């Protein structure tokens, strides 16, 4: 892949005596060999700084690559009257490394928040089983207190899974009678179990 540099304005009046500055100026004019030489001379220090901030070798290598991509793009805007090349490179590297750490931290916080909201809460299964058992005993006792006709109709409809029409056919009685027996049985169950209706 060939890197293309934007055209530059007029060169500064005084010559650049800093070897890194000369390489950066040449890179700004599109000289890929000068840029490669700049990379060779500075990448170890840039990587070392990034590694101290990021603390992960693979991510530090990625950040270092991003830094030099930025340097290639921004080399024409480098102002040697404000800074030498190495401090400028290290400033870019530090900013990029801090951005990576912040991004990783944000991602971790987001993942933790998601986990808190979506992980099933532990519960006491023994306690739940005891409650189910107690409720089952209460329902069986109250069912036993219903009339035989009510108990039969409610059991077929709610424990047998039959429709009211199917219960009427099974018991050979009119549908209206089945509905009355089920309704009366449910009212007695509700009252005996202390269920409050709104």
Q: Which residue has the higher pLDDT, 182 or 1?
A: 182
Residue 11 has a pLDDT of 45
Bigger pLDDT: 40 vs 10:
40
What does pTM read for this prediction? 0.51
Q: Which of 39, 30, 27, 19 is nearest to 84 (CA)?
A: 19
The pLDDT value given to residue 123:
61
- pLDDT category at 1 given cuts 50, 70, 90 is very low
Q: Could you read off the pLDDT of 145-157 as tens digits, one per residue?
A: 888 888 888 888 8
pLDDT at 180: 93
Q: By C-alpha distance, which of 18, 64, 57 is closest to 40?
A: 64
Q: Which domains does the chain have, with CATH numbers?
A: 19-118 (1.10.1740.10), 125-190 (1.10.10.10)
Position 21 scores a pLDDT of 92
Is the CA virtual torsion 169, 173, 175, 177 positive or negative?
negative
Report the percent of the chain where pLDDT is more than 90: 44
In which band, very low, low, confident or very high, does the pLDDT at 86 lie, cut at 50, 70 and 90?
very high
Question: Residues with Cβ < 8 Å from 19, sequence gap 6 or more?
Answer: 41
pLDDT band for position 67 (cuts 50, 70, 90): very high
């Amino acid at each position: 892949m060939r890197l293309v540099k934007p055209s530059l304005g007029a060169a500064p009046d005084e010559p650049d005596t800093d070897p890194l500055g000369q390489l950066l100026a040449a890179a700004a004019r599109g000289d890929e060999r000068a840029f490669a030489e700049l990379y060779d001379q500075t990448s170890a220090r840039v990587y070392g700084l990034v590694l101290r901030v990021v603390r992960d070798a693979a991510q530090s290598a990625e950040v270092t690559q991003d830094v030099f991509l930025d340097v290639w793009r921004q080399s024409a805007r480098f102002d040697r009257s404000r800074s030498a090349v190495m401090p400028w490179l290290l400033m870019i590297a530090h900013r990029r490394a801090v951005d990576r750490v912040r991004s990783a931290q944000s991602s971790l916080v987001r993942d933790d928040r998601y986990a808190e909201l979506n992980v099933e809460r532990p519960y006491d299964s023994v306690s739940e089983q005891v409650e189910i058992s107690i409720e089952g005993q209460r329902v069986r006792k109250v069912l036993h207190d219903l009339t035989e006709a009510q108990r039969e109709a409610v059991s077929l409809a709610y424990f047998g899974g039959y429709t009211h029409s199917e219960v009427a056919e099974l018991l050979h009685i009119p549908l209206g009678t089945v509905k009355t027996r089920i309704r009366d049985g449910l009212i007695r169950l509700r009252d005996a179990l202390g269920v409050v209706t709104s």
